[in-house]
Chain A
Amino acid sequence: MRTSAEEIAALKRSRPRNRFVSVSLVVFTLLAVYAWFGGDLHLAEFDLDRRLANAARFGEAIRPYPIQELGVWDWATAVAWMGDLLAGDGWQALQRTLAISIAAIVLAAVIGAIAAPLGARNIVRRDGLINSPRRPSRRVRIAETAWLTAIRGLLIFLRAIPEYIWAFLLIKIFGFTSWPAVLALALHNAGILGKLGSETIEDIEPARAEALRALGATRVHTLIGAVTPEVLPRFLLYFFYRWETCVREATVLGMLGVMSLGSLIRDARAANFYDEMIFYVLLGSLLVLAGDLLSAGVRASMRKAA
């Protein structure tokens, strides 16, 4: 009979292990060590005393301007100051930030919903879900692969470029309307929603689609009648997750010049009004939190209904 120590050793030897996972951990750790100690980050030139003095000055400057005049904290004065900022540009910028995020995610969802079936293997392949189960010729096979690669390549390119860089590029082309911000968010998120949509379609159970096909439904009808209802709940979840990030980004894109909270933040900074700058940052952060709450609420109630 084996002792318990031997048994434990045997269990330990037979535990599930995976070389790829271990190698990944090692690679990431080495990468982090290299990042900190490879000499790229200038760690030494950090004059702490001077920085702290700057930080102290900044701490003074972010108190509301009338409070700085007054010398003591007074809630009524501070609230009146915030009210003035809101009534000035703040409220309008808040609305525009929200509108940019919604317009962008709706546009992204439309593009993503069109791209998703076009990039899904079981839709595009001739022997997939909505087509006849007969084996296609080699030439058709190659054409299918080329098509899938092109669509997927386009989607990964769209999402590889961050929203901020898309907006920066688009402003030069479309000027300082809201379009560059909306398009930038829409392009990046279309890349993400399209990919997630394709993956969701590839994971669905084929039974319903096969049944419809057997009844003689056309391809388009199968797509609408069998694929869409199975994929939609998932797609809506992704939609709300991505909308949350759109709200965050819509604030920031304003720093490039499009009117949103970000443009007020940029202007306040340029004028050295650090109190206003922090106020608008916090306003944006409230908007993000409100958006997260709304999104989480809708997602939870959709899950309950499902």
Chain B
Amino acid sequence: MKRRFVIAAIAVAGLVSFEALGLRPSEVVPTRAELGTLSSFLLGAFSPALTYEAAYVGADAPPLLLKVADAARRTVVFAAAAMSLAIVGGVVLGFLASTAWWRHDLRSRGPIARIAFPLIYVGTRTLIALMRSVHELLWALIFLVAIGLTDIGAVVAIALPYAGTLAKVFSELIDEAADDAATALGGAGALPAQVFAFGLVPRALPDMGAYTLYRFECALRSSAVVGFFGPETLGKFIRLSWDENHYAEVWTYLYALLVLIVIVEWWSGALRSRFAA
């Protein structure tokens, strides 16, 4: 497709969308009252709270910074737990959804394999699509009304779409990886699973690792947001402080999230440069 055509189509779609939503630029210019909220919120950026803003704080409340650190820690816990499930699911489903380990010699296989392999492929693709097309918060909502949102429910809610996304990307990376080693192994009589594990995965591993870390970064954000539904991650306290107009506290929590994201971005950048070298 011509690039010029794509850009023109995007511009038209954008204008139509703005029009359909009735978005007027004048509405983003804050009114006097809105300006007050906006400016006191933005000013908080320069003086995040180090102690509670409320006049009365329960005697057994921990110091604010400790509470923030604890919420950040729990955000990491939920994200790491979800990612550990998602990686296992992503590798298994990614294997079933990739074609590189069976497509090249499908014709030489028995009749069962010739039907079963494409069927497994299509079935897995459909399952992956369903898993990742439902947002983690909607999974959380479904668990909430179906069985009550426990910590496990929140973890699984994040893990489901993440496993689907990892599986999709893993299978694409594996199918696009150089197949020299895989062909050699297959020619020497290796089983499909062996071809996959020793011929294909090592070739795709650096990209898979980098992508997994990127998803871990996303999982931290999802874990923070899941706090809106109950778990005591950063999102929960952002909401509570915001609803009480404690803007400086909100900034402290936002900065805590920022620190987590910066650390993981640095980590993933460092890993990628090591792999590239």
Contact = CB atoms under 8 A, between A and B. Distances in A.
A284 B148 contact: no
A3 interface: no
Given A54-B146, A173-B34, A248 B239 contact: no
Contact of A32 (B74, B83, B224, B238): B83
A40 interface: yes
Interface residues of A, number: 76
Interface stretch (B1-9, B60-68, B185-193): B1-9
Contacts of A103: 14, 17-18, 21, 23
Contacts of B96: none
A223 interface: no
Contacts of A28: 80, 216
B200 to A, nearest CB: 18
Nearest to A266: B141
Contacts of B222: 162
A252 B271 contact: no
Nearest to B138: A281
Contacts of B262: 156, 160
Interface string A94-118: 0110111011001101000000000
Given A41-B151, A43-B152, A236-B3, A55 B28 contact: no
Interface string A46-72: 100001101100100000000000000
Given A161-B254, A164-B137, A20 B271 contact: yes
A195 B84 CA distance: 28
A248 B135 contact: yes
A35 B151 contact: no
A179 interface: yes
Given A21-B271, A285-B134, A162 B6 contact: no
B69 interface: no
Interface in A240-291: 248-249, 251-252, 255, 265, 269, 274, 277-278, 281, 284-286, 288-289
B21 A182 contact: yes
Contact of A41 (B11, B13, B152): B152
Contacts of A14: none
Contacts, number: 194
A177 B24 CA distance: 10
A236 B2 CA distance: 12
A233 B27 CA distance: 33
B267 interface: yes
Given A168-B239, A236-B6, A305-B1, A173 B134 contact: no
* 7 nearest CB pairs, A to B: A106-B14, A32-B84, A285-B133, A160-B261, A35-B80, A162-B221, A35-B81
Given A18-B274, A46-B150, 19 more contacts: A21-B274, A21-B275, A24-B271, A31-B80, A35-B76, A35-B80, A35-B84, A40-B74, A41-B78, A41-B81, A42-B150, A99-B16, A102-B16, A106-B10, A156-B258, A161-B257, A233-B3, A292-B129, A302-B6
Interface of A: 18, 20-21, 24, 28, 31-32, 34-36, 38, 40-43, 45-46, 51-52, 54-55, 58, 95-96, 98-100, 102-103, 106-107, 109, 156-157, 159-162, 164-165, 168-169, 172-174, 177-179, 182-183, 232-233, 236, 239, 248-249, 251-252, 255, 265, 269, 274, 277-278, 281, 284-286, 288-289, 292, 298, 301-302, 304-305
